[in-house]
Amino acid sequence: MHNIKNFKDINLETTKKEFKESKLIKFTNNIDDLKSTNFYIITVPTPINKFNKPDLKPLFKSSETIGKILKKNDIVVYESTVYTGCIEEDCVPVLKKYSNLRFNKDFFCGYSPERINLGDKKHTISKIKKITSESNSKIANLVNNLYKKIITTGTHKASSIKIAEESKVIENTQRDLNIALINELSVINELSVIYVSKIY
């Protein structure tokens, strides 16, 4: 929060000038400042713990915070990396518990996976196609149209939250496989160089 309030982007994607020109953005860590809004986007990290399991504590804590101030007709959209079913099966119950509101009747949820590559100044958030989804078909259009306002390359509206979650799982799996392949090729090439050098 200190860095953001001082217009400093540690990912080096946004300049101090761009930060200062964002007059409509208010940076805060005060929960009372959030009570007047009706649209929440949760983008906390989901790191892997020492047992290679996703640590969902930041996700649950954020859901608890929002749940305490959630009002009728509010919308909560998650962007964190999660497994298929996490939003509706794990996060929604937390929102329900702390808000005492009914899911899909009093409040709605969505999922729009974060797809940016941190530090990449060329492929910024507005230049990467956004996948959107919602728990209610009427709200889905509202959420999709909101993202369209900032995503210049367009959006893709998934048929359900689970489909959007699965797309993120597949994308991450593809990335990990590509990294693993290149790592293996680099080892093979290194061994080939060593083998050739020994022959000569």
The pLDDT tens digits of the residues spanning 88-136 come to 999 999 999 999 999 999 999 999 998 877 777 788 888 889 999 999 8
In this prediction, residue 200 carries a pLDDT of 45
Q: Which residue in this structure is represented by tokens 């702390």?
A: 98
Which three-class secondary structure string do you get for 102-166?
CECCCEEEEECCCCCCCCCCCCCHHHCCEEECECCHHHHHHHHHHHHCCCCCCEEECCCHHHHHH
pTM over 0.95, yes/no:
no
Nearest to 41 by CA among 79, 9, 74, 5: 79
What structural domains does the chain harbor?
Answer: 35-199 (3.40.50.720)
pLDDT digits (tens, 9 = 90+) for 190-200: 766 555 455 54
